[in-house]
Amino acid sequence: MPRSVTYDIVHETKYTYSEPVAVCLNQLRMRPQTRSPSVVCNQCTVTIEPVPAKVDTHPDYFGNVVDSFAIESHHESLVVKVASQVQVNAINPFESPNIPTVAEVVHAIRTGQTEADLFAKEYVFASPRIPLAGHFAEYAKTIVNEGSSILDAVLQLTKHIHDDFRYDSTATDVSTTTQSAFELKAGVCQDFSHVQIACLRSLGLPARYVSGYLRTLPPPGKPRLIGNDESHAWISVYAGEALGWIDFDPTNACQIGVDHIPVCVGRDYDDISPMRGIVLGGGHTTLAVKVDVAPVELPTEVGPPA
């Protein structure tokens, strides 16, 4: 595994309206943030077409950067293009000397041992999209052993959810609740992540939702297809003050390495939906999204011949 990869990412969202839109107001949560030491955002540019009079940015409660803009003249399409360069550094928390057990983290949170523990506690409670119900805990308890290391335990849970749940983009939609995704045992990354967060919180472990991108590798011998990547979501768990927040991907049954590029964190999807807006008029709306995640330093297999 390379120690560090830098990516050029282009995320283009295009709305086309059947009828003109008189006014729209929008908020974007699409700017990758530096989260040292694992993520460094070198640059990020947001381009909007038609050009709004003004774009404001402000940090939200979770430290994400929000772009707000309005377009107040008639328009029939809206294009938002976010181009960023992000460096992802490999960190392997499993190599850390003192990994706490699940029980130790739960205790630290319950008692608010340190200030970091106290503020991590915010993420053990129910959030708008993620209720805490008994059966999440029941499910999680069959997998997670209180005495084992927090990282091993969460990785176990990540793998179990991957195995027990079916990836199916037709099974759920925008508004599917965590509850029904859990009952269906199916869904997309958003559902997988919500379910895992619900399980972790039910055990007393703080967990957050992470939005971002996943680099996709082309089939062997084929060129990388531009614009064929997708945005993605996974989870982050609090592993005690020393380790902090560690990310896992239930959709791909793994701990996060250099292939994942995080953008925003929040309690659940509702806190960080990449784009939300209200339009006046517009009729029927068609949406087209293109994501391109291109490594700046090419992967090792095209490096100099051995």
Partner 1 sequence: MLLPTQIESKVNVPTPTATAHSNDLPSGSPPGLSLADYASMAERFDECRLPDGALRPCWKSIANEVTSLGKSGLNDRESQIEQLIRENGSTFQIDTGEGTQTRPWQLATVPIAIAEQDWNRLATGLAQRTRVLEAILADLLGPQRLIRERVLPPELLWDNPRFLRVYHNLPVSAGHRLHLVGFDVARASDGAWWVTGDRTRAPSGLGYLLENRIVHGRIFPHLSRTANVRRLASFFGSMRRHFRTLAPRQKDNPRVALLTPGHGSYRDFEDAYLARYLGYTLVQGRDLAVRGERLHLKTLGGLLPIEVLWRHVSDRKCDPLELDPHSTEGVTGLLRCKRGGELAVVNSIGTAIAEMPALIPFLPAAAKLLLGETLQLPSVATYWCGAEKERQYVLEHLDELVLRDAFAVSDTRPVMPVRCTAEEKDALVRRIKAQPNRFVGQHRLSHSVTPVWHGERFEPWHVSLRTFVLQTKNNIEVLPGALARVSPKEDLLSNSPTQGQLTQDCWIVSDKPVDHETTLLSNDDHTIVLRRSGAELPSRVAEHLFWLGRYVERCESIARLLRTTLARLVGEDELNDLPEMTRLVAALAAVGQLEPDYAIEGLDGAMPQLDSVLPSSVFDTANPRALQNSVASALHNATAVRDRISLDAYRIFQSIHADISGSRRPTTVNVSRAMERLNRLITHLMAFSGLTAESLTRTHGWRFVLLGRRLERADQTAELLLATMVRPVADEVGLCESILDATDSLMTYRSRYLSLVRPAPAIDLMVTDETNPRSLRFQLNDIQQLLSDLPTEPGRVALGADERLARELQHPLLIADVGTLTEVNASGNRVELQRLLELVQAKIPQLANAIAGRYLIHTAPEQTLTGDREQSLDESLMPPEATQR
Site string for partner 1, 270-299 (x = CB under 8 A): xx-xxxxxxxxxx-xxxxxx----------
By the rule CB under 8 A, 62 interacts with partner 1: yes
Q: Which is nearer to partner 1, 211 or 255 (CB)?
A: 211
Nearest CA among 218, 203, 195 for reference residue 293: 218
Which of 189, 195, 207, 239 is close enough to bind partner 1 by CB under 8 A? Answer: 189
Tell me whether the omega of the peptide bond preceding residue 59 falls within 30 degrees of 0, making it cis.
no
Asked if 177 contacts 129 with a C-beta cutoff of 8 angstroms, the reply is yes
CA angle (80, 81, 82) in 5-degree steps: 120
Site string for partner 1, 98-117 (x = CB under 8 A): --------------x--x--
Min dist CB 37 to partner 1, Å, is: 25
Q: Which is nearer to partner 1, 13 or 149 (CB)?
A: 13
Residues 6 or more apart in contact with residue 167 via CB below 8 angstroms: 186, 187, 188, 192, 251
By the rule CB under 8 A, 49 interacts with partner 1: no
Asked if 88 contacts 260 with a C-beta cutoff of 8 angstroms, the reply is yes
DSSP string, 42-103: EEEEEEEESPPS-EEEEE-TTS-EEEEEEE-S-EEEEEEEEEEEEEEE---GGG-S-PPBHH
Which of 175, 221, 305, 306 is close enough to bind partner 1 by CB under 8 A? Answer: 175
Q: Name the residues that contact partner 1, by CB under 8 A.
A: 13, 15, 22-27, 53-54, 56, 58, 60-62, 68, 70, 72, 112, 115, 118-119, 121-122, 125-126, 128-129, 169, 172-175, 188-190, 211, 230-233, 251, 269-271, 273-282, 284-289
